[in-house]
Amino acid sequence: MSAATAARRPVKALTRLRLFWPAAVLAVLLVANLAFTPDFFAVHVQGGHLYGSLIDILHFGAPLILVSLGMTLVIATGGIDLSVGSTVAISGALACQHISRSADPGSVGTVLTAVAIALGSALVLGLTNGVLVAKAGVQPIVATLILMVAGRGVAQLITDGQIITVTSEPYKLIGGGYWLTMPFAILLSGLVVLATVLLTRATALGLLLESVGGNPVASRLVGIRAVRLVALVYVFGALCAALAGLMVSSNVSAADGNNAGLWIELDAILAVVLGGTSLNGGRFSIGGTVLGALVIQTLSTTVYTIGIPPETTLVFKAFVVIAVCLIQSPAFRTKLAARAARARRTARPLAAAPTDRLLAAAPIDQEVGE
């Protein structure tokens, strides 16, 4: 074995890791921003709060991380949830409506009640999806599509088609406030991610979810209660979406039933795929999902940084996402490596050919020259 081959083995082993490609893409996007913003990695303290581009990416990416986290467990069971965007809008609308109608919108009790109402509504919405999918046998994409369409209308009915604005410092803390020098949204999303990792990896819950998604028939035969697990993940996904809705509405101190959480379900699915979780169900990666969500948020930040026209933003993001998916695809990398190997063999210099082939070619060349 040559030294070059031995040196390539650790690199190949590294590229096979599930988190390698999303982490590599995220690093490339972050470094690319240095060409347009030299102080992109600078983090400074002002007024006791941390500020900087990296902090902004984590801050504005927190709602997407939460929605993607719930989507990961749903996809792990072989399902899909298209209604999370509507859940984001409904939860934010209910919370802001309660605060705006309260006699004391700035009290902590009012805000806690608003949060409880938002989470309670998400519990009902998630349970509805779970019952339709797990108990009634409705296809996940159909069951959640119903709530995706109807839920957006419900959010607009709650807000009466208007934007509800609120003035409440305790509510502002959820999505736009700071705690311990960090944006509270980052701390909250990090706590939810940590709790999810502990529940799915430190217990048997993660293995049960993977078995239900990988082979539902076999899991049922061994006694796993798949109906309860499937319903549970849809409830969890709705609760994560409700927290994201509270963050979004709190950050702007307003609820917009039409635009809040619009198409966030597609970004969440994309984040899960970029993180290495298969849409067919089975094994999942929470760390990969977090990296995938940060890749999407960093890409959005990069688009605004380099000044791409708004009308071409989505097209630019589409091309980048396609490139990232191709890079992550083992089949695509294998075909690319095979073509590169064939190209190297074709371009091999004539001097490297065997001596008898050179001698055999000489008379022909001489005759052609004469």
Residue with more model confidence, 305 or 121: 121
User: Mean pLDDT over residues 78-91, rounded?
Assistant: 95
User: Mean pLDDT over residues 49-71, rounded?
Assistant: 94
Q: What is the DSSP string of 86-133?
A: HHHHHHHHHHHHHHHHSS-TTSHHHHHHHHHHHHHHHHHHHHHHHIII
Pair type for strands 163-165 and 254-256 = antiparallel
Whether 233 has a pLDDT exceeding 60, the answer reads: yes
pLDDT category at 92 given cuts 50, 70, 90 is: very high
Q: Whole-structure pTM over 0.85, yes or no?
A: yes
Q: What share of the chain is helix, strand, coil (3-state, %, to 5)?
A: 75, 5, 20
Q: Given CA atoms 11, 17, 18, 24 in this order, what sign does their dihedral have?
A: negative
User: Mean pLDDT over residues 86-99, rounded?
Assistant: 96
Whether 337 has a pLDDT exceeding 70, the answer reads: yes
pLDDT category at 360 given cuts 50, 70, 90 is: low
Per-residue pLDDT tens over the stretch 149-167: 999 999 999 999 899 999 9
pLDDT over 90, % of the chain: 59
User: Mean pLDDT over residues 105-109, rounded?
Assistant: 91
Q: Given CA atoms 97, 103, 107, 108 in this order, what sign does their dihedral have?
A: negative
Query: Rounded CA gap, 173 and 183, in Å?
Result: 8
Residue with more model confidence, 242 or 332: 242
Q: What is the pLDDT of residue 232?
A: 95
Is 276 in contact with 18 (CB distance < 8 Å)? yes
Residues facing residue 51 across a β-bridge: 44
User: Mean pLDDT over residues 191-210, rounded?
Assistant: 94
